[in-house]
Amino acid sequence: MAYLGPPGTFTEEALRGWRGLEFEAAVPFPTVEEAILAVEDGLADAAVVPIENSIEGSVNATLDSLAFEADVLIQGERVFQVHHHLLARKGVGLEDIAKVVSHPQAAAQCRRHLVEALPGVEVEAANSTSEAARRVAESPEPAAALGSLLAAELYGLEVLREGMEDHPENRTRFVLLGKKRIPPTGRDKTSMVCFIHQDRPGMLLQILQEFAFRYINLSKIESRPTKKVLGDYCFFIDCEGHEEDEVLASALKCLRCKLPRVKLLGSYPAFVEEDADA
Identify whether residues 74 and 174 lie together within a single domain: yes
The pLDDT, as a whole number, for residue 278 is 44
CB 132 within 8 A of CB 145: yes
The pLDDT, as a whole number, for residue 276 is 53
Active site residue 172: yes
Domain for residue 244, yes or no?
A: yes
* Rounded-to-integer distance, Cα 13 and Cα 4, Å: 11
Q: Which of 178, 209, 225 is the last residue of a domain?
A: 178
Domain for residue 162, yes or no?
A: no
* Rounded-to-integer distance, Cα 165 and Cα 146, Å: 10
Could you tell me the CATH number of the domain that includes residue 137?
Answer: 3.40.190.10
Domain for residue 164, yes or no?
A: no
Percent helix, strand, coil in the chain, to 5, is 30, 30, 40
Identify whether residues 94 and 141 lie together within a single domain: yes
Report how many domains make up the chain: 3
Identify whether residues 76 and 174 lie together within a single domain: yes
Domain for residue 165, yes or no?
A: no
- Total Cβ atoms within 10 A of residue 144: 31
* Structural domain that includes position 64: 2-82+170-178
Identify whether residues 205 and 272 lie together within a single domain: yes
Identify whether residues 230 and 211 lie together within a single domain: yes
Identify whether residues 65 and 27 lie together within a single domain: yes
Domain for residue 163, yes or no?
A: no
Active site residue 31: no
* Rounded-to-integer distance, Cα 203 and Cα 196, Å: 8
Identify whether residues 61 and 102 lie together within a single domain: no
Domain for residue 46, yes or no?
A: yes
Domain for residue 119, yes or no?
A: yes
Among residues 172, 211, 235, 236, the one annotated as catalytic is 172
Identify whether residues 59 and 103 lie together within a single domain: no
pLDDT block averages, 10 residues each, the chain of length 278: 90 90 90 96 96 91 96 96 94 94 92 94 92 94 94 96 92 96 97 85 89 97 90 93 98 95 97 64
Domain for residue 161, yes or no?
A: no
Among residues 80, 174, 211, 236, the one annotated as catalytic is 174
CB 79 within 8 A of CB 271: yes
Identify whether residues 78 and 149 lie together within a single domain: no
pTM: predicted TM-score of the whole model, two decimal places: 0.87
Identify whether residues 216 and 266 lie together within a single domain: yes
Could you tell me the CATH number of the domain that includes residue 211?
Answer: 3.30.70.260
The pLDDT, as a whole number, for residue 277 is 47
Q: What radius of gyration do the chain's Cα atoms show?
A: 20
Q: Which of 146, 178, 210 is the last residue of a domain?
A: 178
Give just the sign of the alpha carbon dihedral 134, 137, 138, 143.
Answer: positive
Identify whether residues 113 and 144 lie together within a single domain: yes
Helix 203-212 / helix 246-258 crossing angle, nearest 10 deg: 160
* Rounded-to-integer distance, Cα 47 and Cα 37, Å: 9
The pLDDT, as a whole number, for residue 234 is 93
Identify whether residues 38 and 74 lie together within a single domain: yes
Q: How far is CA 176 from CA 35, 74, 148, 181, 200, in A?
A: 11, 6, 21, 12, 35
3-class SS of residue 13:
helix
